[in-house]
Structure 1
Amino acid sequence: MDLTDLNNLKNEVQDLLSVAKIELEERRLQQQREEKIQEEIANIEREYKPLMETLEQMLGQFGSDDFTDSLTRQKLEDKAEQIRKILAEAPLLAAQAVDRQMILYEERLLDERQSEQTRRWREELKADLLEMIGEQRDFFSATDAAIAIKGYVTDLKAIGALEEVVDALMLQINTHSKEGPVARLRDNNYELTLNFIYNKALENRSRVDRSADVQPRTRHRSSEKQPKPYTSLAGKVVIFGGHDRLETAVRNRLRDSNVNLIWCTAQGGPQLAEQGESHVSSADLVLIITGYASHKLTDKAMQAMQRCGKTPQMINTTGMTRILEAIEYGLKAKQLLSQFKKSA
């Protein structure tokens, strides 16, 4: 096991710990969901029931036939009807409010995970760049290293490492310079100094037929590019159930992937559900979110799957994390199976 394998193992463990934290939090939120919904229902009733009683009392005073043409009475009745609807739909409204809060919390957890992955990658990038600088054995190749470093200025500045890398670069250039310490800090500005060395490196390249083209190796990093979750995923996924906000949150997380997501919610109506059914036969993965799928929608999905001889994956959740996990696991498993069949 070499250094790259060790770093990969360390990153995999740290990523797994992050996933475990998110999963535990998602489970905790799911367990608290019903309690929070009841609290939200109580808040709605506490806010609107007294208002409803006041409206009804006032409407009672307009009970005389003398007020049949009263515009004020009509407005009062309209408002009363709106509040009756709110009170009647309090459980649904409460569930939607709680689930919105859950999704926002899940998004923060996922953002924290991605930020940590990016931070680790940048630290590993710094190590790769420092090794690259230290490996240069002549003045021109040491100077040429500035060209590679220039592309990572934003990443280095984000972790406060630009100064360390530029200091190492100047030291290596001066170590191999036959004219003494020619590389120096300019105007106490490390980025300005790097730009100056970068321009000198470009001048050096223009004077020779074949330049050094110094580039960092990926010894410490697991990949050349920053880690971005789900970018490697590809395939068609059909989902039945959920709600619009959940769909939007999941789509946003998969925006850099090659996942073709067909999502059918009860809010989308029967026409959208029929379109979803037509995609089942060509889907790589079909998910039914039982936490938010109506019986009618679930039945339609199951019938479509039976006609195609496929088995859907049932997910009892109202959150985003488990859906993303199911998509990632399902598509990767199918990809591995496909690769295995090709190699067999």
Structure 2
Amino acid sequence: MTSDGRTTGEDGARDGKYVEPGKAYDRDMRYIADRITVDGRDGWPVEAGRYRLIAARACPWANRTLIVRRLLGLEDAISVGMPGPTHDQRSWTFDLDPGGVDPVLEIPRLQDAYFARYPDYPRGITVPAIVDIPTGGVVTNDFNRITLDFETEWTQFHRDGAPDLYPERLRDEIDTVARRVFREVNNGVYLCGFAGSQQAYDDAYGTLFTALDWLTERLSTQRYLVGDTITEADVRLFTTLARFDPVYHGHFKCNRQKLSEMPVLWAYARDLFQTPGFGDTIDFVQIKEHYYIVHSDINPSRIVPDGPDLQNWLTPHGREELGGRPFGGGTPPPPPRPHDTVAAGHNPMT
């Protein structure tokens, strides 16, 4: 509950409403800032088997953590729980698990982990979240930091051949690119979709497509966003691009062009989608169900569209001609484990 007694949900919704008439969308960026580190300075030391990542496939912020966890081979160190694609005003729920209960945390709702640590937690019950298994309490939901810590604090548990997604010599550039991508693209689509006035929408729409044009120019001569290998910056952009045609183009009115009508970005997105660890984490069915059902003030009928046809994600992309080495001196991750596999028919790969 919020301080005024109203419930608050994912992406800052109040009472299940995502659009505030007359206003621009303002994402609440106040997350639980605790970190899990080698030295345990926040009280949370890196320890295999102690923590559980809760990451709904539908959510782009959570999708980042699933990609990075798999690329780095952290499956044995950090278990994962996956809520279903829809949630109510209270919380994400574990409705995909037998009995509707997470088998490790033994809770039906993610809010139970938040309240185990903060009984009066005042903000949205968001994914991704990392939960301390022994206490059942949430440790952090700071999506911006979680993947960076996977890359820098959990190195002792990285698989052999894990790529360096956050190389020290490129961190300043990665951070600079990622900040603009977040502000104008990752969050930019929400600024369009949750705009409460024509002016707010027009401003967000212009900013979004200016940023996509900037990315098109940048990626027309280099295979990846920073350097010649996949980095954290690519992970952050990819999860938005994967949702663009199925959701953001229509549902959020980001409709100057479809992704599939922007040749450079479309080829770049297909290149990543066809790279192990990226496309095999994408569940297009859950993605569409989440947005079209949960955002009922935008889509009152809650009808989920059948399209678009997504088989084109597997067509040749030609980006190899730009050079680059996807994993640098590392190797691709092995195939996803059974628990991490996207359901049959939910992805062109399955």
TM-score range, shorter chain: under 0.3
RCO higher in structure (CA 8 A, sep ≥6): 2
- Normalising by structure 2, report the TM-score: 0.24
Greater share of helix residues, 1 or 2?
1
**Greater Rg over alpha carbons, structure:** 1
